[in-house]
Structure 1
């Protein structure tokens, strides 16, 4: 998350509050809502699946930040594109312990990154659930998702 705040600082300090919107994406059960709760400073335990969409507004320095926590079920992913235009960046959450779904994660991430309303925007990939047994290490997640190629092909920052 610190890289997101660094990016915002590089954009310059606004004289008044500046609105920033981030889309939180990833497969179902990746930990998107728990991530949002952690960012808010709340307990990320006992989170129920997000059905559809939830929005969280918070203040970070002179920024008013809106987080769009979008459900990750296969049928609901089609609505994601409706939030891309107003999003300044994406936080893509990956369940590092769900090795069986890495191909699905890779395909989903590739679809997000190639969307014209995401191209060129900053993307933070959060390798979540690193504390679980059998979880992939960061380098393994990068390799399994072909992350360097995806980012380069889609002009991501």
Structure 2
């Protein structure tokens, strides 16, 4: 029966439709990344209470992006959105050294989730426009990303504010989807 549901789900979705889950701690810049992808104004962003969903088209792909709030009280609800995820995007505030350990713990919990097994991971090392930002390679080391063996992953330095690096990360994600579809 489960095989039938999987088959129906695949038939229902177009070949070029991708479900992206956008997670990270509060104030990491998830909504700014989402608005940047949708070419929307990012001058006034409020903390996400719950979630935002946007459909964004890029390179012939329709990306349904689920941006879920990152406050500590909301994180237990993240698991309600894992089903049918094609790509996990995890956004990190590169300038927030104080919370690097916490964000690493949250990411590790996500990587252990059965419903996210094998789902490619794109880590946006956001806020690279700030002078206090750690470089992406230092973040990768601190988060022990090089030990990930069960999925494709990429860390992408970016600034949702300026747009630098965001499209580069999404191109990586779309190339993966093109190979798997």
Q: 1:31 to 1:127 in 2, by over 3 A?
A: same
Give the deviation of 1:131 after TM superposition.
1.2
Unpaired runs of at least 5, structure 2: 1-13, 153-181
* Distance in structure 2 (CA, Å) of the matches to 1:126 and 1:72: 15
* Distance in structure 1 (CA, Å) of the matches to 2:52 and 2:84: 15
1:7-156 correspondence runs (5 A) = 18-149=16-147, 151-152=148-149, 155-156=150-151
Question: Aligned with 2:99: secondary structure?
Answer: helix
- What stretches of structure 1 move > 4 A for 4+ residues in a row? none
Give the deviation of 1:87 after TM superposition.
1.2
Question: Aligned with 1:87: secondary structure?
Answer: coil
CA contact (8 A) 1:95 1:129 kept: yes
Unpaired runs of at least 5, structure 1: 1-15
Give the deviation of 1:79 after TM superposition.
1.1
Give the deviation of 1:98 after TM superposition.
0.2
Give the deviation of 1:117 after TM superposition.
0.9
Residue deviations 1:23-67, cap 9 Å, x none? 000000000000001001122222100011111012224322100
CA contact (8 A) 2:37 2:56 kept: no
Residue deviations 1:62-93, cap 9 Å, x none? 32210000000111011111111121111100
